[in-house]
Structure 1
């Protein structure tokens, strides 16, 4: 190997080592690798910047931007409250079915994040018996379509970079659907292997939140349990105020009546889940001030509010703000929000009007701490536009009527025009870290190819592969990608392994599609380690799992999944 090959090869393996052994972000590691390749003359700036125009990357960015609007809809939140029942089998299949199906079209990480709360708060089963299946269902569902996971789109971007037309929308469907359903069935049968870990108290700040039941609400006439009010993410129904009387504790059998004031305690960042319940209005909503940005303040020790209630002081008129929630350290609050006597040191979460910042009485009464951002509730028309527009975009792409990237551009324009998304929101949500990973990996692939590293490796492998079926090479690529995804991350594994898969395709004169599919499926097959996939990391910390829990439960899943994918690829492409 010459000096150029040594430099590029050394950078490649140093990148893998940094991804596996350090806690640095993949974007930072790929950025450093690109800087090294630029500094040593292995790449030009034009070659690096070329990756920014890759159609696969543009499609992925557009998809993530529109997924933020879809996350605002109430669909997943409403389903999440109804999934877990007293029967484990029914709970498992409901959870698996919803997660698997929705992950095929939506961001699977966002889906898992939305469902962790209801699963953790369910009254019937230890969350640890459901959270690993939740993560695996999201992984499996993501492999069913091109847009199900960013891994598929990353491999698609590499194909396009090599002059290939890329994947069709449903190229993954037959393999992902077969392997996913088979693994779902296996997970159910081996569910006794899942641990029953005791739930620990969450460490978030407990706020006191009031919501009123409208007469037209679907909650009226049903029990607390029937309304799934005990399965809200990190929010607990602690009291009901009815006709001036306080009811506590609240039992599952209690009927909800019109005009009830429901008193919740919990994580204020989850308060948006209440706004998605039909006919349930927060205290600040009745004041017409509930917005996306909320301000947290602490009442000063010289405030004129001390020992007075919100009603007595006319809080809205005084500050152009409404109280969303109250927190008082060392004391459990009780009663209606507007009738609690305020004290120095109370934390208030405020929905503020346009004149709030200009009021000259703020510094006398409050210490302003931080701002919280909540997902804004969409109107019924906006919900229909968001879900209908997305499904139409997917349908047009799946039927080859309109390229996915073009459809997403028009859909994003519709979201902005209808007020569902804003320009500032889009700028905030641009996935810069993921873009850096993809641009860096495309640059790395270019350097590996033009330096001759891939050619040298392929020539070394040639004596071992001559006379054997291309399927042997496919299995080797699949297993190496599978190993790498357990050590690093799914996106990094796909990005690092595709150049070698492409080189083998050229060497063996084999069809490229099965090798590209093998890299994509293997990169998503993170069932043994909690660190290879984002959804695994989410549930890992949520239920205090250990590595051994994933390894013991995930190994048979990984074996079945891999066997099905490889066998189907072999017979589908005649390898």
Structure 2
């Protein structure tokens, strides 16, 4: 192994550790990796940044705009409400849900599909007495499976497409994935409908849990006439420095001050509402002139305030900041009641919580919160409040026409996918269905940075000979495992990496290895490219491997092990189907 390969291994190992530990955001971590590769001379600046000129990356950016137009049109909301029926069994409900979701996901980015349908499904499940945990993982899995049906179904397919084009190969056509995607989706849906849903938990949504249990961690204190707090601001009274309690709101006469600003002056008779734990309750009980309002404690939810459940988006400015340092109250005019992370609900020490992707916040805010922040890139709105902006009838017709036009032009190979996506974006802008500012907001720049950076890392794996070395090792197994064994090993390694890292980074890392194997064994590189794309996309084992899994994590009240229980058989099914079809098509 050369010195450059050894240095690359050190950089890759460091990158893996940071990604697994979630010390930094994925896109920043991978960008740091290519920066290190430039500084060490392994890559030239041109080689390191070449990924950002990749047509696959540009296509993904344009498809984000199209996806945002579809999601904001209200089409998805109307579709789901029409196809779901409370009179059906859970198996029938899942079938009616997963088929159209997977079909939609074949032609648009799956993240906005899942983002828009989470509140719709929560509303529907609540009104029909069905646990949302029975619906949300199937929603995510259907979107993932649907993404394997066409070239534009997921950004993973497009990054592999871009890497193929860089090699001078023709690349995939829109429906080349269909030979694999349709059987995969069919098998996956059948598994969930007849077997998988029995493995899903039956848990209450976060908002319902909060309403049932708020007395356990919501406390009220009345400021008495002799209190030393009277006349002081919240900051002067040091009510922001409590470790186990977090001030949510102040009730003064008939008015409610939420969120309570730091410069609010406290008055006699004010009711201070805190979230926290019993330890914090004991500490604040010793403050002179504060009386614990046990008997008359009121419900937080009233005509003035609403409880919202929102998910932190993966490009939110709140990420990796402590809540108390993010100026959350002043910026969003809302108070955080609890933070849901993985299977834990954090209600004490909220100010010191460092927010991470996938965190779900329970917010107490006024009625205008949705109107103010529904188009913000800071949150995925996943509360029980419907935030759909309905498009005009003409707008819906234009959007549907654009989707059908892309499909038609792709079938007859009239234009490349990038050109079609560009034309679609121009039409949306000219018809003012999407404004320029909306288009800029719609693009998930973190994904774009991650894709461009990951391609650079993949280039380093190929340039240093590391891809050749790994390929040679796998080829040595051929005598004992055969070609099928090598394909299974390659799929398995790709699957494990995508579960613990990221689907885009995994695709960029594994592509050069698969390409090297195909050259050494004189096999079609398209076979390994297809396996790379599918294995990197079919992430069902963890909530962190794929963005849609992370989106439903909090709202469904899932535990980490829930994904493993339901996803392990599905992962085996997808691997078997993929390898079998690849064998028939290329071997």
> 1:290 is matched with which residue?
none
> 1:43 is matched with which residue?
43
Deviation at 1:198, TM superposition (A): 2.6
Task: Quote the Cα distance in structure 2 between the aligned partners of 1:351 and 1:179.
Answer: 38
Q: Structure 1's 120 and 347: CA in aligned 2 closer, same or farther, altered over 3 A? A: closer
Task: Quote the Cα distance in structure 1 between the aligned partners of 2:97 and 2:473.
Answer: 48
> 1:349 is matched with which residue?
368
Deviation at 1:35, TM superposition (A): 1.0
- State yes or no: 1:160 paired with 2:161: no
Task: Quote the Cα distance in structure 2 between the aligned partners of 1:507 and 1:163.
Answer: 18
CA contact (8 A) 2:203 2:557 kept: yes
- State yes or no: 1:18 paired with 2:18: yes
- State yes or no: 1:189 paired with 2:184: no
- 1:84-103 deviations in Å (ceiling 9; x for gaps): 41322331111112211111
> 1:2 is matched with which residue?
2
> 2:109 is matched with which residue?
107
Q: Structure 1's 554 and 84: CA in aligned 2 closer, same or farther, altered over 3 A? A: farther
SS in 2 for 1:542: coil
Task: Quote the Cα distance in structure 2 between the aligned partners of 1:526 and 1:488.
Answer: 11
> 2:120 is matched with which residue?
118
Deviation at 1:74, TM superposition (A): 1.9
> 1:73 is matched with which residue?
73
| TM-score, reference length from structure 2 | 0.68
Deviation at 1:466, TM superposition (A): 5.6
Task: Quote the Cα distance in structure 2 between the aligned partners of 1:568 and 1:444.
Answer: 30
Q: Structure 1's 198 and 435: CA in aligned 2 closer, same or farther, altered over 3 A? A: closer
> 2:353 is matched with which residue?
none
Deviation at 1:489, TM superposition (A): 2.0
| TM-score, reference length from structure 1 | 0.70
> 1:198 is matched with which residue?
204
- 1:354-382 deviations in Å (ceiling 9; x for gaps): xxxxxxxxxxxxxxx98965765432112
Task: Quote the Cα distance in structure 1 between the aligned partners of 2:539 and 2:159.
Answer: 17
Moved more, 195-204 or 119-128: 195-204
Deviation at 1:204, TM superposition (A): 10
> Of 146, 171, 177, which residue of structure 1 is paired with 2:176?
171
Structure 1: give runs of 5+ residues left out of the alignment. Answer: 206-262, 271-294, 299-328, 330-345, 353-368
Deviation at 1:110, TM superposition (A): 1.4
Task: Quote the Cα distance in structure 1 between the aligned partners of 2:67 and 2:76.
Answer: 13
Task: Quote the Cα distance in structure 2 between the aligned partners of 1:385 and 1:160.
Answer: 31
Task: Quote the Cα distance in structure 2 between the aligned partners of 1:350 and 1:505.
Answer: 54
> 1:91 is matched with which residue?
93
> 2:575 is matched with which residue?
562
Moved more, 459-468 or 111-120: 459-468
Q: Structure 1's 351 and 105: CA in aligned 2 closer, same or farther, altered over 3 A? A: closer
Give the 5 Å matches for 1:466-485. Answer: 469-485=482-498
Deviation at 1:78, TM superposition (A): 0.8
Deviation at 1:64, TM superposition (A): 1.3
> Of 401, 421, 425, which residue of structure 2 is paired with 1:412?
425
* 4+ residue runs over 4 A deviation: 202-205, 263-270, 295-298, 369-376, 466-469
- 1:228-259 deviations in Å (ceiling 9; x for gaps): xxxxxxxxxxxxxxxxxxxxxxxxxxxxxxxx
Task: Quote the Cα distance in structure 2 between the aligned partners of 1:553 and 1:377.
Answer: 35
CA RMSD of aligned residues (A): 3.0
Deviation at 1:481, TM superposition (A): 0.3
Structure 2: give runs of 5+ residues left out of the alignment. Answer: 212-302, 311-330, 335-363, 377-386
Task: Quote the Cα distance in structure 1 between the aligned partners of 2:174 and 2:374.
Answer: 40
> 1:403 is matched with which residue?
416
Moved more, 519-528 or 464-473: 464-473
Q: Structure 1's 30 and 297: CA in aligned 2 closer, same or farther, altered over 3 A? A: closer
Deviation at 1:463, TM superposition (A): 3.4
> 1:29 is matched with which residue?
29
Task: Quote the Cα distance in structure 1 between the aligned partners of 2:333 and 2:503.
Answer: 41
> 1:386 is matched with which residue?
399
* Count of residue pairs brought into register by the alignment: 432
- 1:128-152 deviations in Å (ceiling 9; x for gaps): 1222211111111111111111111
